[in-house]
Amino acid sequence: MTRRALVALAILLIGACGPVSTPSSSGGAPIAVLGAENFYADLLAQIGGTRVTVSSILSDPSADPHEYEASPAAAKLVADSKLVIVNGIGYDDFMEKLLGASTKPDRIVINAQDILGVKDDVNVHVWYDPATMPKIAEAATAALTKLDPQNAAYFSEQQAKYLAALKPVNDKIAALKAKYAGAPIAFTENVAGYLTGAVGLQVLTPPAFMEAVESGTDPAPADVAAERDLLTSHKVKALLYNSQVTSPLTEQIRALAVSSNVPVVPVAETIPPGFKTFQEWQLAQLDELERALVK
């Protein structure tokens, strides 16, 4: 085939694939953006693409997000960012101080609590709700478009890719719900409650036990006994265990589950190392949950 024919064929193939938007070459330097938690930072990275530089504050898999204390390095990240996503609901209150210390008239702050319209008394781990991230993605796309309007089409396409990558997660939830709705489970802490609720699983752990663990206080002896009985009497199919925030008590509960042959499903509060995206992380946890429920 001649060089001219090859060029013509390439043009035909490009036309068949349809137009692909790329960031404008005159868009200037990438936009500095920040997600207080690394799953929001990941969302900004996926939607912002090459038009953003992304930072995160809460990403340490061994740290308790509830006890985080802001550092000078975190203050600089916030000060340099033009778009910030926070969770709200009291989960990342330290961000209020950091944002207040470096006001910027052109900075956009997306508060997940405001976007979702929820009160302060709900489960703070709203990113586990399948309905949350699409709403945050929409707000982030609008914010990025406002900051960089000439790349609006690019951000819109990136958003579509982000949502498409969530589909396998939603499909897995639907498949698990069809097969395991009503199955009993136990928690050490109500981290993945929105997710297990979407699957239709029944949490038998006493609410007061979970609340005490989350607040760092000792549960009542009766609640501890009830939690232990769920495992030793095999009243639950699995124990969902917060692998990021642990205590001697939760370690004892996990060990009891193992010795009682109750499957343990680790869940985390931020994306653990080894996962490239939020979607990959969520799907892996659902796969782990399925392996537990099928036993």
The first and second tokens of residue 137, run together, are 């993605």
> How much is the pLDDT for 72?
86
* Sheet arrangement for strand 239-242: 202-203, 184-187, 239-242, 264-267
pTM of the model: 0.89
Closest CA to 163 of 282, 46, 244: 46
Whole-angstrom CA distances from 119 to 91, 128, 146, 195, 226 are 13, 17, 28, 19, 30
> How much is the pLDDT for 98?
92
> How much is the pLDDT for 1?
40
Whole-angstrom CA distances from 293 to 157, 172, 184, 260, 290 are 37, 13, 9, 15, 5
Closest CA to 281 of 59, 111, 89: 59
Question: pLDDT tens digits for the chain (295 residues)?
Answer: 433 343 333 333 333 334 446 676 456 899 999 999 999 999 999 999 999 999 999 877 666 666 667 788 889 999 999 999 999 999 999 999 999 998 888 999 999 999 999 999 999 999 999 999 999 999 999 999 999 999 999 999 999 999 999 999 999 999 999 999 999 999 999 999 999 999 999 999 999 999 999 999 999 999 999 999 999 999 999 999 999 889 999 999 999 999 999 999 999 999 999 999 999 999 999 999 999 999 8
Give the chain's radius of gyration (CA, Å). 22
Please tell me the distance from the alpha carbon of residue 156 to that of residue 20, in angstroms, as a whole number.
12
Q: Give 3-state DSSP helix, strand, coil % of the chain, rounded to 5.
A: 55, 10, 35
> How much is the pLDDT for 164?
98
> How much is the pLDDT for 161?
98
